[in-house]
A and B are shown apart, each in its own frame.
Chain A
Amino acid sequence: EAGVTQSPTHLIKTRGQQVTLRCSPISGHTSVYWYQQALGLGLQFLLWYDEGEERNRGNFPPRFSGRQFPNYSSELNVNALELEDSALYLCASSLRQITGELFFGEGSRLTVL
């Protein structure tokens, strides 16, 4: 069974640009979570999508947004990139009704120059 897949794995952008990161959850999982892991800041919760709806949002500015598609895959969009957006962006999926256990992808490493 395929795990959570994310793309791209690495990307470099410049300040002010926009980026889209993609995530495919484990088959059958309806919930998708996005976390930011920046150097020295640990894992910060960004967004939670379930059944196509945004269920919860972390303490991030509105230029961080996303969506979930009918097939439960998800996109994370970051507009007007800033240097401090450089981080590993991790996507996780879960079966919402069960246990809250998250299964993580390997992440997308974003570098903003």
Chain B
Amino acid sequence: AQSVTQPDIHITVSEGASLELRCNYSYGATPYLFWYVQSPGQGLQLLLKYFSGDTLVQGIKGFEAEFKRSQSSFNLRKPSVHWSDAAEYFCAVGPGWGKLQFGAGTQVVVTP
């Protein structure tokens, strides 16, 4: 069965500091991996996606993620966070079509 684990429910980071959000997945085949962000009261916006090829993928808003097959991980990073990055972040896995399986989300708080 497929599953996505985001170990950190809540992360607090200072503005300007780096951010890393963890995501581990369990999937029987080659996964299609995604990171979405949800601002309060809003829908989800796609940050980046990985299907194949280069394991380091670049996304919007200065985010990047690295796919590590050996660790079944797809961690999201940003070198320097801005106050506007405060939001909830969801990792998701899917087969390339059909529904996505989402992690429980990580709430990011940015302090001045």
Q: Do they bind each other?
A: yes
A contact residues vs B (CB 8 Å cutoff): 4, 33, 35, 42-43, 45, 48, 55-56, 58, 90, 92, 96-97, 99-107, 109
Q: Is the CB of B99 within 8 A of A99?
A: no
Q: Which residues of B contact A56 (CB under 8 A)?
A: 98-99
If A43-B90, A106-B43 touch, whether A100 touches B97 (CB-CB below 8 Å) is yes
Interface centre among B43, B51, B104 (most CB of A within 10 A): B43
Q: Per a CB cutoff under 8 Å, which of B46, B94, B102 touches A103?
A: B46
Number of chain B interface residues as a range: 20 to 34
Assembled-state Cα–Cα distance A90/B45 (Å): 12
**Assuming A99-B96, A100-B96, is B102 touching A42 (CB within 8 A)?**
yes
- Interface of B toward A, CB cutoff 8 Å: 32, 34, 36, 41-46, 49, 51, 90, 94-105
User: Given A99-B51, A99-B96, A100-B96, A106–B42 Cβ distance below 8 Å?
Assistant: yes
Query: Whole-angstrom distance between the alpha carbons of A11 and B87 in the complex?
Result: 24
Among candidates B41, B51, B99, B101, residue contacting A33 with C-beta atoms closer than 8 Å? B99
Which of chain A's residues have a CB closer than 8 A to the CB of B90?
A: 43
